[in-house]
Amino acid sequence: MRINEDDVEILNATSNHATDWSKTFLTAMNSCRWMNRYIKDQNISELDVSISFSQDIRKELKADRFLIAYYAKKPVGILRMDEYWVPKAVRIISHFPLVIPKFQRKGIGRLLVKAGVQQAQSEGVVDVWSECWSKDMREIKLYRTFYERIGFTKKSNRLEMICFTKAFNEDHMTEIKGLEISKSDEITDELVQTISQSYAKSKDKLHVIENLRNPKITESFLKKTRQSFLEIGFKIDCVVAKYNKKLCAGLLTATSKNRGMVLEIGVIPEFRKLKIAQHLLELYLYTIKSQQINEVALGVDEENIPAINLYEKLGFSKSWNGMLMLLEDKNKLGL
């Protein structure tokens, strides 16, 4: 079936589109093998999606975009974008755009992305990112193919790693003489300074991409990260470590009733190989285990081998695969 792109109507979705949005979401997910299985395992219903969508719409966050495409008055595709954690940037959320199977490979996804990018640019956005997470590498490959065709370039392959705290052995925790640790629920100047200096020479591509060697960008990045997790009910801890009275490392964590997350961790280069990162992570895992929380998750670039080796040593294992891409050739998108 061929379609005329001029007959595709793209609207900014409102709460009035909740039913169409949820039906499109679940129908389109049928073609995503892993996510479809995940949705069924979690028993996610059309009503669940509709309620979640309506709640997100009501938040009225400036950078959030919910676009829905209609063809012959029937919903055929959806796109969701939100604010990325670096200045003047937005992100297309994982697995979007979603297009129902009958209308895939008809240009609907490209039209949704184009409309979203045009809206973002009109509001001063400079960079448009996309990300995809899955346990099925075939899904990652499909999204990479789609996004490369419309002008995006892969910047980082991501990994989520999980540690199940039952397996963590607190009897062999590292001890470091001369190390002082302080904790706050706010983003402190010392944490900004430590993370910025640590990430200036990081093996994680994301830290380079985000220009986190710039303290002002790091401060904005950390504060946005903190706020986004507070909004969904996590408790935030900002940890700073000093070795012989000198700043050496920082750690940002988020903890809910069910899960702990290592959001950021960095050691200033001159203090590396002292096992400071290992010590900070062990303390967090010990705390989480004592609170009877079963798992801790973190994200890392797949090429950051030293970090991955440390995480595996502490009991983390690879869980989800991810990919981060940046729109660099807007001509391919027709802009």
User: For residue 102, what is the domain's CATH number?
Assistant: 3.40.630.30
Instruction: Please tell me whether residues 143 and 251 are part of one structural domain.
Output: no
Q: Are 262 and 242 in contact (CB under 8 A)?
A: no
Instruction: Please tell me whether residues 178 and 315 are part of one structural domain.
Output: yes
Assigned domain for 281 exists? yes
**pLDDT in the model for residue 136:** 86
Instruction: Please tell me whether residues 173 and 292 are part of one structural domain.
Output: yes
User: What span, in angstroms and rounded, lies between the C-alpha atoms of 301 and 23?
Assistant: 34
For residue 32, which amino acid is it?
C
Strand partners for 68: 11, 78
Instruction: Please tell me whether residues 25 and 143 are part of one structural domain.
Output: yes
Q: Are 301 and 157 in contact (CB under 8 A)?
A: yes
Instruction: Please tell me whether residues 173 and 282 are part of one structural domain.
Output: yes
State the sign of the Cα–Cα–Cα–Cα dihedral 239, 243, 244, 246: negative
Instruction: Please tell me whether residues 117 and 15 are part of one structural domain.
Output: yes
Instruction: Please tell me whether residues 145 and 178 are part of one structural domain.
Output: no
- CA–chain centroid gap for 105, Å, is 26
- Per the structure, how many domains does the chain have? 2
Percent of residues in the chain assigned helix, strand, coil, to nearest 5 = 40, 30, 25
Last residue of a domain, one of 115, 150, 185: 150
Instruction: Please tell me whether residues 193 and 274 are part of one structural domain.
Output: yes
Q: Could you say which residues of the chain have pLDDT below 70? A: 1, 60-63
Q: What are phi and psi of 35, to 5 degrees?
A: -65, -35
Instruction: Please tell me whether residues 129 and 193 are part of one structural domain.
Output: no
Last residue of a domain, one of 100, 117, 150: 150
Assigned domain for 289 exists? yes
Instruction: Please tell me whether residues 130 and 240 are part of one structural domain.
Output: no
**pLDDT in the model for residue 34:** 73
Element (H, E) at 24: helix 18-29
| Domain that residue 284 falls in | 163-321
Instruction: Please tell me whether residues 79 and 188 are part of one structural domain.
Output: no
Nearest of 293, 214, 280, 216 to residue 253 by alpha carbon? 280
State the sign of the Cα–Cα–Cα–Cα dihedral 96, 101, 104, 108: negative
User: What span, in angstroms and rounded, lies between the C-alpha atoms of 269 and 106?
Assistant: 50
**pLDDT in the model for residue 61:** 65
The model's pTM: 0.84
